[in-house]
Amino acid sequence: MKAVSLKIKIVLLGILPAIMLTVGLTGLAVYQAYRAGQQEVETARKSMRAAKEAELKNYVDMAISAIRPLYENAAADDKNAQEQARNILRKLTYGQDGYLFAYLHDGTNIVLGPKPQLEGKDLSGLKDANGVFYVREMIERAKRGGGYVEYIFDKPSKKKAVPKLSYAAGLDKWQWMVGTGFYIDDIDDAVQEIEQKIARKLRETVVWLVAVCLLRVCLSLVGLVCFFFFFQAEDGIRDYK
């Protein structure tokens, strides 16, 4: 009985360190893979966001460049020049449904191609589901030299409100805010795909590491079994002699 107990202790002393080391290394590898995946997701999100922001600013800069000659050569109260500038902005489009909009600093819309019936109306009270007064926010960004505003806006193709990003710049002499925006839910869609790929890779990594762990334990057991058989054989030979 004492011999059996000793053998069990030897087995445990031989296997436990291997198991603990393998489990520790497996946990570390899984954690590192998880962190690397999170970093990849964050990098992708920032990169796509930066590209969207650059694109928006570029459209607004081009729009302002198109009306700059009128703006610079007109007085602050030149209604004729302002109307010409508004007509130019109404005609400027990009992509499938991209358009420019313009507001007075008091929140009155003066250019809104898709919904001309709203021109001349005070839209400063508009807010999204999160309580963001996006027209007011864009006017404030424009007054500060230009900036971005993110808010929730209905997207017909998805039949629900999704994130939208706008860039607004100012024409101080006329007290105008000129801007444009587009939906950025495609960033979340792309990030979700990346997360799913990373999750699959992580699962594969875990399975592989568990297999390695089991293999190491099996090898340890085989080694110990061989060790016992070897010494039992030697004991048998001594008894026979």
Q: Is the pLDDT of residue 57 over 60?
A: yes
Which pLDDT band holds residue 44 (cuts at 50, 70, 90)? confident
Contact 233, 54 (CB under 8 A): no
The whole-number pLDDT of residue 63 equals 96
Confidence of residue 2 (pLDDT cuts 50, 70, 90): very low
Average pLDDT over residues 179-206: 80
β-pair type (93-94, 98-99): antiparallel
The least confident of 57-71, 117-131, 184-198, 206-220 is 206-220
Give the range among 2-11, 26-35, 98-107, 171-180 with minimum mean pLDDT: 2-11
Cα 148 versus chain centre, distance = 17
What does 34-87 look like in DSSP terms, one character per residue?
Answer: HHHHHHHHHHHHHHHHHHHHHHHHHHHHHHHHHHHHHHHHS-TT-HHHHHHHHH
Number of alpha carbons in the 13 Å side-chain half-sphere of residue 56: 25
Q: State the pTM of this model.
A: 0.71
How confident is residue 1, by pLDDT bands cut at 50, 70 and 90?
very low
- Residues 144-184 have pLDDT tens digits of 999 999 999 988 778 888 999 999 999 999 999 999 999 98
**For 76, phi and psi rounded to 5 degrees?**
-60, -25
Within 10 angstroms of residue 187's Cβ, the number of other Cβ atoms is 19
Task: Tell me the DSSP string of 36-50.
Answer: HHHHHHHHHHHHHHH
Does the pLDDT value for residue 215 go beyond 80? no
pLDDT category of residue 39 using cuts at 50, 70 and 90: confident
| Residues above pLDDT 70, as percent of the chain | 77
Among the residue ranges 3-7, 101-105, 169-173, 177-181, the one predicted with the least confidence is 3-7
Of the candidate ranges 4-8, 23-27, 56-60, the one whose mean pLDDT is the lowest: 4-8
Higher-scoring residue by pLDDT: 145, 30: 145
Strands (DSSP E) contained in 188-228 are none
